Amino acid sequence: MRDQDRQIASESLLLQKQPESLKNSLLDSARVLEFDRSSTIFLQGEQARAIYIVADGWVKLHRIAPNGAEAVVGVFTKGRSFGEAVAFRNDVYPVSAEAVTFCRLIRIEAAQFLNAIRDNPEMALSILSATFTHLQSLVAQVEGLKARTGAQRVAQFLLDLASCDSGKCSVRLPYDKVLIAGRLGMKPESLSRAFAKLKHVGVTITQNTADIADLDMLRDYAEDDPANAWTKP
């Protein structure tokens, strides 16, 4: 494991509040796995035996509906963890995990984490914190699907990726537009229309880059209540 991998894992929501001795114990026995783009990390219905922390790249969690359609549940990048809840319950994964890009994952065996919790019950608080963060993310996704237009969802997606706080900013789209559409609950053609609508608030899409003229303008657009359109002349 690289020093950079250990630092990313140590600063993750899952481990950041743990004593150094516990972090080192868990990471000393952890493994770093590399996956090429489109590689399967685990399958829906597979026995959950490990927790993963993303050291580099992007991973998507998705489910396959009975009609064969894919529903993207979440997309995770550097420093984010997944698989905690089901691994600690000795349950099966309710979703499949796939590498969206080349990625490096830190795999911690659930049994070792459970043993550490039994010896140090306060560690359970970090699990609750990580689980709560995942829940908040899902609630935000549902809220976005219900209360925002497609273009507003895309605007918020770009804002979440932006490394700047205000003014002009360029954002590199981290994965292909089909996955972005699935992540935002849209069809690819709807995503294209949403990008086109964002031109009037200063967003220009060129291949895999979004150039944003004014982050504050885009933020106002993303947060505007769609119902206000009925009151505008």
The pTM is what? 0.75
Domains and CATH numbers, the chain: 3-145 (2.60.120.10), 148-230 (1.10.10.10)
Q: pLDDT category, 130, cuts 50, 70, 90?
A: low
Q: pLDDT category, 231, cuts 50, 70, 90?
A: very low
> With 0-12 CB in 10 A as exposed, 13-18 as middle and 19+ as buried, what is 77?
middle
Higher-pLDDT residue of 150 and 136 is 150
- Nearest partner of 83 among 99, 61, 111, judged by Cα: 61
SS3 sequence, 182-200? HHCCCCHHHHHHHHHHHHH
Torsional sign, CA 185, 88, 99, 165: positive
- Nearest partner of 30 among 5, 61, 59, judged by Cα: 5
Per-residue pLDDT tens for 176-217? 888 888 878 788 889 899 999 999 999 999 888 999 999 999
The mean per-residue pLDDT over the stretch 135-140 comes to 66
- Residue 138, H or E segment: helix 124-147
The mean per-residue pLDDT over the stretch 126-139 comes to 68
Question: What is the C-alpha radius of gyration for the chain, rounded to an integer number of angstroms?
Answer: 19
Residue 29, helix vs strand vs coil = coil
The mean per-residue pLDDT over the stretch 55-65 comes to 89
Per-residue pLDDT tens for 73-91? 888 888 888 988 788 888 8
- Is it the case that residue 49 has pLDDT exceeding 70? yes
- Which range, 33-42, 138-147, 148-157, is most confident? 33-42
Q: Phi/psi of residue 139, each to 5°?
A: -65, -40
Higher-pLDDT residue of 74 and 232 is 74
